[in-house]
Amino acid sequence: MRIATWNVNSITARLPRLLAWLESSGTDVLCLQEAKVAEEKFPVEELRELGYESAVHATGRWNGVAVLSRVGLEDVVKGLPGDPGYEGSVEPRAVSATCGPVRVWSVYVPNGREVDHPHYAYKLQWFEALKAAVAGDAAGSRPFAVLGDYNVAPTDDDVYDRAAFEGSTHVTPAERAALASLREAGLSDVVPRPLKYEHPFTYWDYRQLCFPKNRGMRIDLVYGNASFAEAVTDSYVDREERKGKGASDHAPVVVDLDV
């Protein structure tokens, strides 16, 4: 079984590449982030023609998440229970579903913006709500994983130059502690380092030739429970999909399971 996560940075802009990638990659379940489209405009029919069902939680603005599956899609839950919300509204940042033998969450963790910004406090609160929401599934015997754009680089090795991020979000001790706390709920990072590259980054800014210069970050992660981790047989970052015209600024992260 092949499961992946991909921040597509607008499914409308990325649809031709997404459909082609699904056909060529052999992916059974794909967790998407930053759909940036209203649910009623999500390309459900185009995906169904390829054999994928869609569970979508989106409002058409800057967020939006989805789970695509060709191995079944049941027990869909939209939203994060206990979501603290931001400025009086709850954003579409989480959706979960059971896909065959595996249950997954697709999450788009708040960016945080700046350390002294209210969005940073919201980010830390959101992590607390995520930990509480997934604790039950994480402790169970069924393979379970939370996949998505976590907007946190777990270690200094997960950014191209730690000094370049001094005073910025994504690398602060509080954010890394919030990410690490998911391990207390029974989850662990199932994508090992190194992979095929010394620094398997998943995100490269569009500006300043960051991708050609490999000035990236590893912020798209797969955190699984013990049953999920034990079933992993391979994993990789599909850097090729970050290349060329019309690419997202994130690359897909792919995990193969023996389930």
pLDDT per residue as tens digits for the range 26-48:
999 999 999 999 999 999 999 99
Domain boundaries, the chain: 2-257
Task: For the chain, 259 residues long, give each residue's pLDDT as a single digit of tens.
Answer: 999 999 999 999 999 999 999 999 999 999 999 999 999 999 999 999 999 999 999 998 789 999 999 999 999 999 999 999 999 999 999 999 999 999 999 999 999 999 999 999 999 999 999 999 999 999 999 999 999 999 999 999 999 999 999 999 999 999 999 999 998 999 999 997 655 556 689 999 999 999 999 999 999 999 999 999 999 999 999 999 999 999 999 999 999 999 9
**DSSP secondary structure of 94-108:** EEEEEETTEEEEEEE
Contacts of 173 (CB under 8 A, 6+ apart): none
Segment 180-200, tens digit of pLDDT: 999 899 999 999 765 555 668
The H-or-E segment that residue 4 falls in is strand 2-7
pLDDT score, position 192: 72
pTM for the whole structure: 0.96
- CATH number, span 2-257: 3.60.10.10
